[in-house]
Amino acid sequence: MPRHASIGALPNQWQPAASIDHAAHSAMNAEKRAEIFRRLHAANPAPTTELEYATTFQLLVAVILSAQATDKSVNLATRTLFADAPTPQCMLALGETGLAKYINRIGLYNAKAKNVIATCRQLIEQHGGEVPRERDALEALPGVGRKTANVVLNTAFGEATIAVDTHIFRVANRTRLAPGKTPLAVELKLLKSVPDDYKADAHHWLILHGRYVCKSRKPECWRCAIADLCEYRDKTRLYEDRTQ
Ligand code: SF4
């Protein structure tokens, strides 16, 4: 059963929790962090990836293909690809040239085709055709780095990992939830500071928040559910946007 999810509507009108004393908590602290995740959870209780897949192998391939590409473009390609080649064995049989024909609308498709075929071969030769659930084994697969391994460990195996992509990196720095100069620094800070109850889903909440609300060029602060907790200095207001 293919899985996909939508963010659902974040509430336009939110009510700050009465227990938060904003004057007394000007710096990001544990109470603010917990309230941020409480609200993200309330708006979307079961967040997941927007990549479409039916098996862990297909999730792995979709994540490899999604580097520097939109989930939408990956889904368009994989709907046909996964129907024709659902397993590592079938995909390996396509070869690099055959696979490239399915994914040629995705950026860097030649390099990705090469990595996916090499990954299929490695899965078959070293892991009995299954996706391993150990980080080291995942990161040893061609085209799989720490971020991809984190997504697979979190989304397929339910581990409390946090894959820091461009959206999470931006949201963590703007809000001051977990400021850091590199994705790894942000990841480690988030792992340390996100309340345990929210850790497994933090990755998807922050990605979706960055993709749909805290957008790169113009964050939509006027409808942001965590605006009063966020420490970004240049928050946007709806009135200013309409008059620009
Ligand atoms: S208030 Fe604005 S900058 Fe802060 S998290 Fe919300 S959208 Fe992003």
Residue 238: per-residue pLDDT: 75
Rounded to 10 deg, the angle between the 88-103 and 56-65 helix axes is 30
Mean pLDDT in residue range 42-68: 96
Catalytic one of 32, 71, 112, 147 = 147
Correct CATH for 30-47+161-243 of 2.60.40.1220, 3.40.50.300, 1.10.1670.10, 2.60.120.1130: 1.10.1670.10
Residue-level pLDDT at 17: 37
CA distance 138 to 18: 45
240 — pLDDT class (breaks 50, 70, 90): low
Catalytic residue (choose from 32, 165, 199, 201): 165
Sequence ranges of the domains in the chain: 30-47+161-243, 56-155
**How does the average pLDDT of the chain come out, rounded?**
89
Q: Is the pLDDT of residue 15 over 80?
A: no
Can you give the pLDDT at residue 26? 46
Residue 222 DSSP label = G
User: Binning pLDDT at 50, 70 and 90, where does residue 242 land?
Assistant: low
Question: Residues 37-58: what's their mean pLDDT?
Answer: 96
Given CATH 3.40.30.10, say whether it is the number of domain 56-155.
Answer: no
Distances (CA, A) of 95 to 86, 112, 120, 179, 218: 14, 12, 10, 42, 42
- Find the residues whose C-beta lies inside 6 A of ligand 1: 174-175, 213-214, 219-221, 224, 226-227, 230, 232, 235
Asked whether residue 107 carries a pLDDT value surpassing 90, the answer given is: yes
User: Is 181 an annotated catalytic residue?
Assistant: no
Q: Which of the four pLDDT bands, split at 50, 70 and 90, describes residue 10?
A: very low
Nearest CA to ligand 1 atom 8: 214
More confident residue, 77 or 6: 77
Contact indicator for 233, 239 with CB cutoff of 8 Å:
no
**pLDDT tens-place string over residues 118-146:** 999 999 999 999 999 999 999 999 999 99
Contacts of the segment 208-215: beta carbons below 8 A, 24+ positions apart: 208/7, 208/44, 208/47, 208/50, 209/10, 209/40, 209/167, 209/171, 210/166, 210/167, 210/168, 210/170, 210/171, 211/7, 211/167, 212/7, 212/10, 213/10, 214/167, 214/170, 214/171, 214/174, 214/175
Binned at pLDDT 50, 70 and 90, residue 237 comes out as confident
